[in-house]
Amino acid sequence: MYWANGGEDPKIERADLDGSNRRTVVRNVTRPTGLTIDFSLGLIFWVDAENKVIECANLDGTNRRTVVTELPKPFALTQYKDFIYWADWKLSSIYRAKKSNGMDRTQIKGNIEFIMDILVFHSSRQEGLYIQQFCVSLTKGLFSQSGQNLELP
């Protein structure tokens, strides 16, 4: 699991689902307010509300880069297919842009007050190498990587 820690030492962290193996993935963020993961590309995206940007990095925090800049007041964030979607509190709107380069910025919906979160639910969001490894690890060998059910002893 991943989370944004916006306390005295803001950072993005991760841990196993039982809380073990906690570690910092990204440092030097000012006010992280939204996270989303692209399992197919192995990327984590986040909003830094103070710096008014959306950034991304590999799931281990390497290859960090800025994707979208000059956002009035970004808050929540999600991704789907080739796009990232975010809520902007100042503009009371939801926007999207290409997640590869931040281009083709488009307003999706306006006149929405105080958007606290934005999510996309679709089976394709659960595809990719990282989610397969996660499921195998989570079940502790109850399922093979091909998805075959394995009998308990």
Residue ranges and CATH numbers for the domains of the chain are 2-122 (2.120.10.30)
pLDDT number for residue 117: 81
In terms of residues, how long is the chain? 153
Task: Tell me which residue has tokens 């995206």.
Answer: 45
What is the distance between the alpha carbons of residues 146 and 60, in angstroms, rounded to a whole number? 25
To the question of pTM greater than 0.85 for the whole model, the response is no
- DSSP annotation of 19 reads S
Of 52, 63, 67, which Cα lies nearest the Cα of 25? 63
Question: What is the full per-residue pLDDT of the chain (153 aa) written as tens digits?
Answer: 999 988 889 999 999 988 999 999 999 999 998 899 998 899 999 999 999 999 999 999 999 999 999 999 998 999 999 999 999 999 999 999 999 999 999 999 889 888 888 878 767 655 554 444 444 444 444 443 444 444 433
pLDDT number for residue 141: 41
Of 70, 10, 18, which Cα lies nearest the Cα of 35? 10
pLDDT number for residue 122: 67
Side-chain-side CA neighbours of residue 87 (13 Å): 19
pLDDT number for residue 13: 95
What is the distance between the alpha carbons of residues 149 and 93, in angstroms, rounded to a whole number? 45
